[in-house]
């Protein structure tokens, strides 16, 4: 079992609050969603094999889906940072001539679309995490009730 050290927590916080401000709410929400997915998967795993609960296949399905969503959300967090970087780079493009202004405006628009698409996709993934939490909440190991409650925040 992995125990978080102060160094682990500091490294985690450095990702969420870097000196270059490359990450923000979009990345943080994706990471929070991934953490919620991880908790849902854990609740499914600790519920598996318990008498009077659902079948192992039920919990395996939820666990697999939760793990897939956690990975997708972590990737979505990286994509959010990249999308923000693209927006910031587009604002540095030259704007001396009319052609440069037009190219810069087009680049800004394109980057902004990406910067809105990524958080929307991550929000949709988070909805799926909540749906999994709802499914597992009907029958689960009650020793994990607080974990499931946190996942649903």
The rounded distance, in Å, linking the Cα atoms of 85 and 112 is: 11
- Domains in the chain with CATH codes: 20-151 (1.20.120.680)
Q: What is the pLDDT of residue 15?
A: 73
Q: What is the pTM of this model?
A: 0.88
4: pLDDT strictly greater than 80: no
The rounded distance, in Å, linking the Cα atoms of 41 and 106 is: 42
Q: What is the pLDDT of residue 10?
A: 82
Buried b (16+ CB within 10 A) or exposed e, 16-41: eeeeeeebeebbebbbbbbbbbbbbb
Q: pLDDT-derived band of residue 7, with 50, 70 and 90 as boundaries?
A: confident
Q: pLDDT-derived band of residue 148, with 50, 70 and 90 as boundaries?
A: very high
The rounded distance, in Å, linking the Cα atoms of 150 and 37 is: 10
SS3 category, 15: helix
The rounded distance, in Å, linking the Cα atoms of 103 and 93 is: 8
21: pLDDT strictly greater than 90: no
């Amino acid at each position: 079992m992995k125990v978080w050290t102060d160094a682990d927590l500091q490294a985690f916080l450095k990702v969420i609050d870097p000196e270059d401000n490359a990450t923000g709410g979009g990345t943080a929400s994706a990471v929070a969603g991934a953490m919620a997915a991880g908790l849902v998967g854990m609740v499914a795993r600790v519920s598996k094999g318990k008498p009077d609960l659902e079948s192992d296949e039920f919990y395996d399905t939820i666990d697999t889906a939760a793990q897939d969503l956690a990975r997708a959300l972590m990737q979505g967090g990286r994509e959010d940072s990249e999308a923000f970087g693209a927006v910031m780079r587009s604002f540095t493009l030259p704007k001396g001539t009319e052609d440069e202004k037009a190219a810069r405006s087009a680049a800004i628009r394109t980057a902004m679309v990406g910067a809105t698409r990524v958080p929307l996709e991550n929000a949709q993934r988070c909805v799926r995490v909540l749906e999994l939490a709802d499914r597992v909440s009907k029958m689960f190991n009650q020793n994990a009730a607080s974990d499931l409650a946190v996942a649903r925040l």
